[in-house]
Structure 1
Amino acid sequence: MTGGTGGEGRSAGASVAGDALDELRRARRRFVVLTGLRWLPVGVAVPVMVLLMRERGLDLATVGLLGAVYSAVTVTLELPTGGLADVVGRRPVLVVSSVLSIVAVAGVALGTSALALGGAYALWGVSRALDSGPLQAWYVDQVHAVDLDADLKPGLARAGVAESSGLGIGALAGGALVAVSPLPTTGAPLIALSTPFLLAALLGVAHLVFLLAWVHDPPRARRATLRDVLRDVPATVAHGASLAVRHTVLRRIVGFMLAFGVALAAIELLAPNAFAQMLGGESRAAAPYAVLVTLGFFGSAAGSSLAPLVARLAGRSSRGVLITAVLSAGALAAIGVPVIGVAAAAFVLFYLFLGMGGPLLDELTHRSVGPRERATMLSVNSMALQVGGVVASLAIGALAGATSLAVGLVVAAAVLVVGAGAMIGLRAPAQRSAGDPASSSSRTSLGPETSR
Structure 2
Amino acid sequence: MLLYPVYALLFADTGLSVWQISSLFVLWSATGVLLEVPSGAWADAFSRRALLWLGPLLGAAGFALWVLVPSYWAFAAGFVLWGVRGALGSGALEALVYEELERLGAAHRYARVMGRAHAVGQAAAMAAMGLAGPLFAAHGYPAVGAASVLACLLCAATATRFPEHRAPADGTDGTEGPGWAATLRAGLGEAHRDRSVRGALLLVPAVSAVWGALDEYTPLLVRDTGVADATVPYLLMLLWAGVTAGSLLAGPAERLGRTGFAVLLTVSALALAAGAVTGTPAGIALVALAFGGFQLATVLADVRLQHRIEDGARATLTSVASLGTEAVTIGVYAGYAALAGLGGHAAAFALCAVPYLVTAVVTASARRR
TM-score by length of 2: 0.84
Q: Which amino acid aligns with 1:68?
A: V
1:300 equivalent among 235, 243, 255: 243
Aligned to 2:164: 216
Aligned to 1:59: 16
Q: Which amino acid aligns with 1:394?
A: A
Aligned to 1:379: 319
Q: Does structure 1 retain, via aligned residues, the 8 Å contact 2:26–2:330?
A: no
Q: Does structure 2 retain, via aligned residues, the 8 Å contact 1:168–1:298?
A: yes
Give the secondary structure class of the aligned counterpart of 2:93: helix
For 1:131 and 1:149, the matched residues in 2 are separated by 20
2:195 equivalent among 248, 257, 270: 248
Written as runs of structure 1 = structure 2, the 5 A alignment for 1:40-79 is: 41=1, 44-53=2-11, 57=14, 59-60=16-17, 62-79=20-37
Q: Which amino acid aligns with 1:91?
A: R
2:77 is the counterpart of 1:119: yes
Q: Does structure 2 retain, via aligned residues, the 8 Å contact 1:328–1:350?
A: yes
2:133 equivalent among 175, 197, 200: 175
Shift of residue 266, structure 1, vs aligned partner: 6.6
For 2:66 and 2:281, the matched residues in 1 are separated by 36
Give the secondary structure class of the aligned counterpart of 1:46: coil
For 2:213 and 2:163, the matched residues in 1 are separated by 36
Written as runs of structure 1 = structure 2, the 5 A alignment for 1:46-445 is: 46-53=4-11, 57=14, 59-60=16-17, 62-147=20-105, 150-181=108-139, 192-220=140-168, 222-223=171-172, 232-261=179-208, 263-264=210-211, 267-268=214-215, 279=225, 284=227, 286-312=229-255, 314=256, 316=257, 318-338=258-278, 340=280, 343-395=283-335, 397-399=337-339, 401-402=341-342, 408-409=348-349, 411-421=351-361, 423-424=363-364
Q: Does structure 2 retain, via aligned residues, the 8 Å contact 1:262–1:391?
A: no
Deviations 1:250-286 (A, max 9, x none): 3223333333355316744776666555x35xxx464
Deviates more, 1:253-262 or 1:83-92: 253-262
For 2:95 and 2:221, the matched residues in 1 are separated by 38
Q: Which amino acid aligns with 1:194?
A: P
Higher RCO structure (Cα 8 Å, ≥6 apart):
2
For 1:156 and 1:354, the matched residues in 2 are separated by 15
Shift of residue 97, structure 1, vs aligned partner: 1.3
For 2:130 and 2:111, the matched residues in 1 are separated by 28
For 2:278 and 2:228, the matched residues in 1 are separated by 14
For 1:216 and 1:331, the matched residues in 2 are separated by 41
In structure 2, the gaps of 5 or more residues are: none
Give the secondary structure class of the aligned counterpart of 1:335: helix
For 1:102 and 1:407, the matched residues in 2 are separated by 34
Q: Does structure 1 retain, via aligned residues, the 8 Å contact 2:5–2:232?
A: no
In structure 1, the gaps of 5 or more residues are: 1-40, 182-191, 428-452
Shift of residue 362, structure 1, vs aligned partner: 1.8
Q: Which amino acid aligns with 1:343?
A: G
Shift of residue 119, structure 1, vs aligned partner: 2.7
- Cα distance change of structure 1 residues 404 and 298 upon mapping to structure 2, 3 Å threshold: closer
- Cα distance change of structure 1 residues 257 and 396 upon mapping to structure 2, 3 Å threshold: farther
The total of aligned residue pairs comes to 365
RMSD across aligned positions (CA): 3.3
Give the secondary structure class of the aligned counterpart of 1:135: helix
Aligned-residue sequence identity (percent) comes to 24
For 2:91 and 2:213, the matched residues in 1 are separated by 24
Give the secondary structure class of the aligned counterpart of 1:340: coil
For 1:341 and 1:101, the matched residues in 2 are separated by 32
For 1:352 and 1:369, the matched residues in 2 are separated by 26
Deviates more, 1:287-296 or 1:264-273: 264-273
